[in-house]
């Protein structure tokens, strides 16, 4: 069914569908002007607010299954999700013509990592071999912004590394592929990645110019979520992790398509990496995430120090990436499911007959439940 016809049909049966656009850490209706101040990353790691569908539609959906499931299905499995994404792009370009944040590149021995602020809180990344003038784009949600960066760098796009199927990460794949026809599009086949040409499995390697990436299969947020590790050792620098919606600064993505046990296994993949690894996440959620971390682990001094720095950065609309995996282990509660102090703060104890990994999954599940309903300040 065509999208317009579907919208008419939904209205005809009284669903009253009202898509809402989330800007930064806030939600505003499409018909409003520029957003006011506010907080709360309700649609964490999906590009869609938790209140995408109005109350009347929620009541109808609940008769069959949860309203959240209805919203998520509309976003990921119908053309309404794509239309919502297109409107996000259009509004973000109008309201944030220079991007939602100011970001600066990091360069090590001729390999430059450039954060590209897109939509309202997303980051795409352009990784450029400045000697060979070839580039890799990670999650190019807004193809116009990524293309402008390519032209500024004078680089040719050789590959797209897509972490998962959500439109706010994959929406620009096909446009860039049409413009750069030899470009390869990488991702996991379990996700419906737009324009996918090179399906990946766990620990597959990707080479572009002097850049060496390894892909890791990390389901939980989606069934086919992947993260990408750029090997920096051969270049005399740290490795860099492009984590999509698996891990953020002091946070993790919602478990839309996986259990807590599945997500824990994926997060443990991140924990296993070197402490010096730079973390480049898919969203600017640092301030809200650190406030939540303060609620569940108020005595964490590492969190307090990081929060002060993040507040200074965000006060000037500056990007808070990258952090390091070593830092995240100190204050990111979703990477601290082993920590006794966190268990005490959550009021959880391991049962006598409970496996340690299962207990840690229960800790993660409780953390994610609390974060899902957290309203910030």
pLDDT tens over the chain, length 377 residues: 344 443 343 333 333 333 333 333 333 332 233 332 233 333 577 665 444 434 444 444 444 346 778 889 889 988 999 999 999 999 999 999 999 999 999 999 999 999 999 999 999 999 999 999 999 999 999 999 999 999 999 999 999 999 999 999 999 999 999 999 999 999 999 999 999 999 999 999 999 999 999 999 999 999 999 999 999 998 899 999 999 999 999 999 999 999 999 999 999 999 999 999 999 999 999 999 999 999 999 999 999 999 999 999 999 999 999 999 999 999 999 999 999 999 999 999 999 999 999 999 999 999 999 999 998 65
The single residue of 164, 180, 225, 343 carrying the catalytic annotation is: 164
310 in Cβ contact with 287 (< 8 Å) = yes
Q: Please check whether residues 91 and 128 belong to one and the same domain.
A: no
Q: Are residues 268 and 314 in the same domain?
A: yes
Boundary-marking domain end, from 64, 95, 126: 95
Catalytic residue (one of 50, 129, 168, 191): 168
Same domain, yes or no: 111 and 159 = yes
Instruction: Specify if 100 maps to a domain.
Output: no
Domain boundary among 47, 64, 95: 95
Let me know if 355 is a catalytic residue: no
Annotation marks residue 202 as catalytic: no
Phi, psi of 85 (to 5 degrees): -60, -45
Residues 221 and 188: beta-carbon distance below 8 Å: no
Asked whether residue 53 falls in the same domain as residue 120, the answer is: no
Q: For residues 363 and 305, state if they share a domain.
A: yes
The question of whether 283 is a catalytic residue gets the answer yes
Can you tell me which residue has the tokens 């389901």? 219
- The helix (H) or strand (E) run that includes residue 45 is none
Q: Which tokens hold the place of 30?
A: 């499409």
Q: Which of 42, 245, 288, 343 is catalytic?
A: 245
For the chain, count helices (H), then strands (E). Answer: 13, 17
CA-closest candidate to residue 284, choices 249, 315, 313: 249
Residues 148 and 64 grouped into a single domain: no
Q: Which of 50, 129, 142, 169 is catalytic?
A: 169
Give the domain-ending residue among 74, 95, 116.
95
Catalytic residue (choose from 57, 180, 221, 225): 221
Rounded Cα distance between 72 and 283, Å, is 19
168 and 57, same domain (yes or no): no
Domain for residue 151, yes or no?
yes
| Candidates 57, 100, 166, 343; catalytic one | 166
Catalytic residue among 57, 100, 225, 283: 283
In this predicted structure, what is the pLDDT of residue 46?
66
In a domain, 115, yes or no: yes
- The number of folded domains in the chain is 2
With the C-alpha atoms ordered 258, 261, 264, 265, is the resulting torsion angle positive or negative?
Answer: negative
- What is the domain range of residue 21? 3-95
245 is catalytic: yes
Same domain, 200 and 261: yes
Q: What is the pTM of this model?
A: 0.86
Known active-site residue 121: no
């Amino acid at each position: 069914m065509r999208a317009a016809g579907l919208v008419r049909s939904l209205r005809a049966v009284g669903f009253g569908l009202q898509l809402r656009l989330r800007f930064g850490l806030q939600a505003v209706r499409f018909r409003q002007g520029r957003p006011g101040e506010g907080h709360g990353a309700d649609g964490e790691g999906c590009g869609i607010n938790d209140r995408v569908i109005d109350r009347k539609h929620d009541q109808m959906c609940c008769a069959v299954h949860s309203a959240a499931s209805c919203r998520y299905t509309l976003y990921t499995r119908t053309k309404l999700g794509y239309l919502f994404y297109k409107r996000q792009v259009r509004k973000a370009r109008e309201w944030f013509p220079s991007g939602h944040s100011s970001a600066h590149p990091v360069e090590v021995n001729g390999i430059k990592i450039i954060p590209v602020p897109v939509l309202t809180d997303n980051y795409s990344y352009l990784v450029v071999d400045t000697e060979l003038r070839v580039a890799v784009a990670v999650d190019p949600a807004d193809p116009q912004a990524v293309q402008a960066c390519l032209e500024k760098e004078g680089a040719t796009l050789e590959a797209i590394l897509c972490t998962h199927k959500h439109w706010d990460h994959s929406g620009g794949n096909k446009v860039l592929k049409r413009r750069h026809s030899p470009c390869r599009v990488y991702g996991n086949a379990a996700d419906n990645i737009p324009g996918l040409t090179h399906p990946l499995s766990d620990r597959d390697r990707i080479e572009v110019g002097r850049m060496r990436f390894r892909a890791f299969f990390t389901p939980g947020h989606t069934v086919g979520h992947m993260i990408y590790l750029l090997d920096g050792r051969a270049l005399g620098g740290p490795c860099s992790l492009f984590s999509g919606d698996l891990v953020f600064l002091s946070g993790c993505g919602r478990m839309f398509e996986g259990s807590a046990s599945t997500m824990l296994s994926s997060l443990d993949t991140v924990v296993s990496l070197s402490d010096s690894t730079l973390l480049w996440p898919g969203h600017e959620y640092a301030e809200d995430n650190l406030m939540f971390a303060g609620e569940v682990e108020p005595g964490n001094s590492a969190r307090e120090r990081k929060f002060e720095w993040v507040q200074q950065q965000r006060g000037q609309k500056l990007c808070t990436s990258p952090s390091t995996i070593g830092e995240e282990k100190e204050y990111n509660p979703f990477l601290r499911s082993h920590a006794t102090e966190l268990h005490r703060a959550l009021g959880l104890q391991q049962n006598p007959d409970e496996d340690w990994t299962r207990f840690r999954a229960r800790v993660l599940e409780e953390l994610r439940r609390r974060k899902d309903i957290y309203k910030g300040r």
